[in-house]
A and B are shown apart, each in its own frame.
Chain A
Amino acid sequence: MFDVLVIGGGVIGGCVLRELSKYSLSVCMIEKESDVAMGASRANSGIVHAGFDAKVGSLKAKFNVLGHAMMEDYTKELGVKFERNGSLVVAFSKEELNALYELKERGKKNGVQKLRILNKEELKEIEPNLSNNAVGALYAPTAGIVCPYKLAIATIGNAMDNGAKLVLDFECESITKNGDFFSVKSKDDREIFSRIIINCAGLGAQKIANMAGDFSFQVKARRGEYLLLDKNQSGFVKRTLFFAPTEKGKGILVSPTVDGNIILGPTADEVEENFTDTTTFGLSQIQDKAKVMTPNLKLSEVITSFAGARAYCDRHDFIVEESTVVRGLINCAGIESPGLTSAPAIAKYVVEDLVLKDVEGVKKEDFNPTRRPDDFFAKLDVDDKNEIIKREPSYGRIVCRCEKITEGEIVRAIKVNPKATTIDGVKRRVRAGMGRCQGGFCQPQIMEIIARENNLSVFDINKGSKGSYIVKEITK
C-alpha cells in the first residue's frame, strides 16, 4: 500500500514525485510506456516562458510566474541544463506591434519583470539573422530554455534516489475505490494500492479520471510538429523568437535548444490521442514560417523531424485540484503550454496544499535534492576525466562519435535511476545517437551494451515502445 501513487511519468508527474519524495511518505509512479517522458514531455519546444501570455488571474498565469521563478535553482539542483536566453515576440506589422503593448501590459499584471519593447534597430543588433521585415518585438530577458525530457528524467531519477518507486509498462485498466484507498489494475493484471492518486497522465488524464469515476473534464490532443537543425547552426539565433500569438497558441517559433541545436515548430492541429506522425504539410508549413522569421535559415542542416501530441482541456486553463466527486483523486490535467515552466510550482502546490492536508508527512532530513547529471563526464576537465578513465576504462571508449559519448556514460545511463532500457532511452539521457548521423554508426554497439548490461539478447532490445525491435533474428 502506497500513500501516494502518481499516474504518468511526464514532467508534471516527475516534479510531483520529486516533491513527494521530500516527505516521509511511501510513493510510487506508474507509467504505461517502457521509459519515462514518453508523451508531451518528449517532444515540445522546451521553453521556460516569462509569463506574459497567460490570461490575468488564470492558473496558467499563476503557476507560470511561480514556476519560472523556481526554474533556475530547481534545474541547478538536478543538474539539468537551463539557459536564460531571453525571448522575443516579433511583430511584422503595425497592428502586431500595437498588440505587443497589450501583451507587455498583461505581463506586468502577471508579475513578469524586465519586459521591454525593442525597435527594429535594437532587434537587428541583438539578432542579426532576424528578418528585415520585423518592425519591433517584446523582449523578455528572463525567459529561458530547458530540455523537457531531461527535466522529467532528472526529477524522477532524483525522486527514486530518495526512495520513490517507478513501475514501467503499467497501463491502467481500472481504478476502484475501496473505502479509503484505491486499487489500480493494469492491463496485464498487476495491481497497486494507494491512498491517494495524482493523475498526471497528460493525454490520458481524462481516461484515468473517468476510470476513477470523475467525468468533470475533457482532454483533447493537439499535435505539434518540429524540425531540428544540426549543432553546426548553433548561434544562428540566440533568443527564442515567437510570432505574435493567435487564438490557437503561440505559433511557430525559432529557438536554440540547450544542447546547441536550433528547433523550429510547432504546428498545432487537433488529433486523436497521441497521434504523433509528421505530415508533409506540417513540415513545409514550419519551413515556410521559419523562413519568414529568419530568411537565412539553412534548411539543408535539418537532422530530424518529429511530432508530439499535447493535452489541452475544455476549460482552457490548467486543472490542478482534488476531484470534487472522487475524494483522494488529485487531477493535474490539461497542462498545455506553459506547463513545462509551471511544473515545479504545480508540484509544490499539489503536494503542500492538496496531498499533505489528507496524509501525514514530515520532511525527511536525509532528502538529497541533487542528482549527478547524465552528461557529467563531458563537463569534467582533462585531469578529472583521466582519473575516471583510470578507474573505469570504458570512459575512454567513444561509442557515439558525433556527440563523443563514451561507453562508460552509456553504461551509467543504463544503471542509474530511472534506468534506460531502450535505444531511445539511452539517447535521451546521454545524447548517444542524437547527432548528425542519427545513430547510424553507434546503434549496433549501444544495442549490445544494453543487452549485455541487462543480460538480454539483442533481439529483445527495442528502439522505444514495446514492439519496436531493431533486429529480428539471426541470419542463416
Chain B
Amino acid sequence: MTEYAVVVIGGGPAGLAAAIKAWDSGAESVLVLERDTVLGGILNQCIHNGFGLTRFKESLTGPEYAWRFIEEVKKRGIEVWTDTTVLSIDKEKRVFAINSERGVFSIYAKSIILAMGCRERSKGALNIAGSRPSGLFSAGTAQKYVNVKGWLPGREVVILGSGDIGLIMARRMTLEGAKVRAVCEIMPYSSGLKRNIVQCLDDFDIPLYLSHTIVEIEGRDRVSGVVIAKVDENRKPIKGTEKRFSCDTVLFSVGLIPENELTAQAGIKLSSQTKGAVVDQNRETEIEGVFACGNVLHVHDLVDFVSEEAEIAGKSAADYANGVRGEKDCVECVAGESVGYVLPQLIDRKGGENVKLYFRVRKPIRDGEIRLESGGVTIFSKRKKIFTPGEMESIIIKKEDLAKFDSKSVLSVIGG
C-alpha cells in the first residue's frame, strides 16, 4: 500500500496551510486530497474582499487569499490529487478514496489531517411549512451560481438569516441586478459583521427584519412569495404579525455545520457544542496521529484564524509522523457561564508551549470578564468591552500556567 507521512483531507484554506506547515516542519511526504477540480475550497466563490487583514495586513478577495497558499504548495512540490473524494478513514490511519485515475484505492498515512471544512445547514432542517417549489437556495449555493458559474437564480430575493454569507449575497445579488426585498433574522441581533450590515444592506436600502422568520413558502413550480412573521423570545412566530413578500428566489443563510461524516465514521469523538472533533492544543483528535483544523473542527468567522489553526495541526502532524512528539497529559477544559464552546477541549499539560484558547459567547455581552478557573484557582482573567456570538474570541495561556490546570477547568464570561 502507498504510504505518506502526512495525508491532508481537503484542499481548502485549512488543508493548504496545514500541508505547507507539515512540509516545512520536516514531514517526509505530504499528500493533499481534494474532491473539487481545483484547490482553494470555498474561497474560490468568495470573490468579495476582507480576507487576510490579520495575516497579510491587506484586504484580499477569497481567490487571492487562496492563491497565495496554492503558490506555496506548488513551490514546495507538495503532491496534490484533485477530483479525489475520500470515502473513509480508519483507526489504522488508512485512507480510502476514489478518483477516475486510480479507481477506489487506499493509502496508509502516518498522520492524517482532517480539513474537510463545513457545509450549510439546509432549508429542509428548518421545517418551514408550505410548498416545495424551485428557487430555494442555501446562500452558498447561490453564491456559487452567481460568482463561479455566472448564472443568476432570480430577480426578486428574500433572504433568511443575517450571517455574513447572507449579507454578502444580498449585496452580490443587488449588484447583479436583482432586487432584495428583505433580510430576515430570527434572532434579535445579526450574527454578521457590522461592516457587512452597513456595506451590504444599508448601502442599498435593503431592510433587515430582526426577530423575524419565514413562516410560509408559496408557489407551486417556482417560489412566488414568502410570508414572514415576528417571533417572540422563544423564537415562535407571533400571530397577526405576518407580512408577505413576493419573490422568485429565497436564500437561506441559517448556519454552518462542520462536515464530520468521515470523522464520525472513524469513531472519533465529536463535541456536541462545536460539532467537530474533540482535540487538544495540537489539534490532535482522540485517535493518535489524526489531527483536525479549520471549519471541520469549529466554524471560524475569519479565514486568517483557519490558516493559523491549520499550521498548528500541520506542525503537530509532521512531528507525530517523525516520531518527535512526547508523552501527553491531557485534562478537560469546558465552557462555563455564557460561553458556547471552548477549543481545544483538552489541554495537554506537558505541551510546553503557550496555548491559545478560542471561544464563543452564547449571547451579546457588554463589559464582561473572561475568567478561566481550575480547581478553585483563577488561571486567567481579563475584561473586555464587547462580546458577540458572531465574533470568535481568544485568550493566550502562558506555558508556565499549564501546570496549574486541574483535571477540569472552566472558561466563563461573567457580567454584562
- A–B in direct contact per CB < 8 Å: yes
A436 touches B122 (CB 8 A): yes
A394 touches B122 (CB 8 A): no
Measured in the bound complex, the distance between the Cα atoms of B150 and A458 in whole Å is: 11
In this complex, which of B122, B130, B140, B264 has the most chain A Cβ atoms within 10 angstroms of its Cβ?
B122
Is B149 among interface residues, defined by CB-CB distance under 8 A? yes
B134 touches A303 (CB 8 A): no
Nearest-neighbour CB distance to chain A for B312, whole angstroms, equals 26
Which residues of chain B are near A390, meaning CB under 8 Å? 103
A474 touches B151 (CB 8 A): yes
Measured in the bound complex, the distance between the Cα atoms of B154 and A404 in whole Å is: 29
B99 touches A276 (CB 8 A): no
Which residues of chain B are near A467, meaning CB under 8 Å? 220-222
Is B2 among interface residues, defined by CB-CB distance under 8 A? no
Known contacts being A386-B104, A396-B103, A401-B85, is A302 close to B152, with CB within 8 Å?
no
Measured in the bound complex, the distance between the Cα atoms of B145 and A390 in whole Å is: 32
Which residues of chain A are near B323, meaning CB under 8 Å? none
B99 touches A471 (CB 8 A): no
When C-beta atoms are compared, the residue in chain B nearest to A281 turns out to be B129
Which residues of chain A are near B248, meaning CB under 8 Å? 472
In A265-324, the 8 Å CB interface with B consists of: 276-280, 282-283, 302-306
A444 touches B144 (CB 8 A): yes
Which residues of chain A are near B122, meaning CB under 8 Å? 303-304, 436-438, 440
When C-beta atoms are compared, the residue in chain B nearest to A380 turns out to be B104
Which residues of chain B are near A401, meaning CB under 8 Å? 35, 85
In A431-476, the 8 Å CB interface with B consists of: 436-441, 443-444, 458-459, 462-476
Measured in the bound complex, the distance between the Cα atoms of B221 and A319 in whole Å is: 31
When C-beta atoms are compared, the residue in chain B nearest to A388 turns out to be B103
Nearest-neighbour CB distance to chain A for B170, whole angstroms, equals 15
Known contacts being A396-B99, A437-B119, is A476 close to B145, with CB within 8 Å?
no
Is A362 among interface residues, defined by CB-CB distance under 8 A? no
When C-beta atoms are compared, the residue in chain B nearest to A407 turns out to be B100
Nearest-neighbour CB distance to chain A for B148, whole angstroms, equals 8
Which residues of chain A are near B145, meaning CB under 8 Å? 444, 471
In B102-130, the 8 Å CB interface with A consists of: 102-104, 119-120, 122-125, 127, 129-130
Give 1 or 0 for each of B208-222: 1 = CB within 8 Å of chain A CB. 000000011000111
In B122-172, the 8 Å CB interface with A consists of: 122-125, 127, 129-135, 138, 140-141, 144-146, 149-155
In this complex, which of A280, A385, A471, A476 has the most chain B Cβ atoms within 10 angstroms of its Cβ?
A471
Give 1 or 0 for each of B76-101: 1 = CB within 8 Å of chain A CB. 00000001010100000000001111
Which residues of chain B are near A228, meaning CB under 8 Å? 124
The total of chain B residues at the interface (CB under 8 A) is 49
Known contacts being A276-B131, A469-B134, is A305 close to B98, with CB within 8 Å?
no
Measured in the bound complex, the distance between the Cα atoms of B141 and A438 in whole Å is: 11
Which secondary structure dominates where chain A touches chain B?
mixed
Nearest-neighbour CB distance to chain A for B401, whole angstroms, equals 37
Which residues of chain A are near B146, meaning CB under 8 Å? 475
A440 touches B141 (CB 8 A): yes
Nearest-neighbour CB distance to chain A for B157, whole angstroms, equals 11
Is B176 among interface residues, defined by CB-CB distance under 8 A? yes
Which residues of chain B are near A406, meaning CB under 8 Å? 98
Is A227 among interface residues, defined by CB-CB distance under 8 A? yes
Is A249 among interface residues, defined by CB-CB distance under 8 A? no
Nearest-neighbour CB distance to chain A for B313, whole angstroms, equals 22
B152 touches A396 (CB 8 A): no
Cross-interface CB contact of B153 among A393, A462, A470, cutoff 8 Å: A470
A398 touches B35 (CB 8 A): yes
B134 touches A440 (CB 8 A): no
A278 touches B130 (CB 8 A): yes
B99 touches A397 (CB 8 A): yes
Which residues of chain B are near A126, meaning CB under 8 Å? none
A302 touches B141 (CB 8 A): no
Which residues of chain B are near A469, meaning CB under 8 Å? 134, 222
Which residues of chain A are near B144, meaning CB under 8 Å? 444
Residues of B within 8 A of A (CB): 35, 83, 85, 87, 98-104, 119-120, 122-125, 127, 129-135, 138, 140-141, 144-146, 149-155, 176-177, 215-216, 220-222, 237, 248, 261, 264
